[in-house]
């Protein structure tokens, strides 16, 4: 399943911060190659989104673990503003057409 963990900070991210987010995701990802971190600069803040895949699980059972894991790694970000976790839906698989009789 897909997971996105986003954080907002005041200042632009450093390479070290991006690496910290990638490292935090390795605790949960089922494939290290699935981890990516993107940066979006907004007028008053910067948004960093970490995306990764992990084994299927009930979201309500793992969301607190993910939040704790990321917060342990970003606790020293002095300009941290907010964090969110989402589980984007994968696009539906195409359905096979049934032959009519």
Distance CA 65, CA 5 (A): 12
How many CB atoms are located within 10 Å of the residue 71 CB? 13
pTM for this one? Answer: 0.84
Tell me whether residue 20 is in a domain: yes
Tell me whether residue 52 is in a domain: yes
* CATH number of the domain within which 40 lies: 3.30.70.260
Query: Considering its fold, how many domains does the chain have in total?
Result: 1
Query: 24-58 pLDDT, tens per residue?
Result: 999 999 999 999 999 999 999 999 999 999 999 99
Query: 7-26 pLDDT, tens per residue?
Result: 999 999 999 999 999 999 99
Higher pLDDT, 51 or 96: 51
Q: Is 87 exposed, middle or buried (0-12, 13-18, 19+ CB in 10 A)?
A: middle
Domain that holds residue 31: 2-86
Tell me whether residue 51 is in a domain: yes
92 has a pLDDT exceeding 70 = no
Tell me whether residue 96 is in a domain: no
Tell me whether residue 92 is in a domain: no
């Amino acid at each position: 399943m897909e997971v996105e963990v986003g954080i907002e900070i005041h200042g632009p991210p450093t390479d070290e911060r991006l690496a910290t987010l990638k490292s935090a995701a390795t605790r949960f990802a089922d494939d290290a190659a699935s981890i990516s971190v993107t940066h979006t600069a907004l007028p008053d803040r910067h948004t960093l989104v970490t995306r990764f895949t992990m084994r299927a699980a009930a979201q309500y059972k793992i969301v607190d673990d993910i939040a704790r894991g990321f917060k342990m790694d970003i606790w020293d970000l002095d300009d941290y503003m907010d964090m969110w976790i989402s589980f984007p839906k994968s696009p539906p698989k195409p359905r096979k057409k049934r032959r009519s009789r």
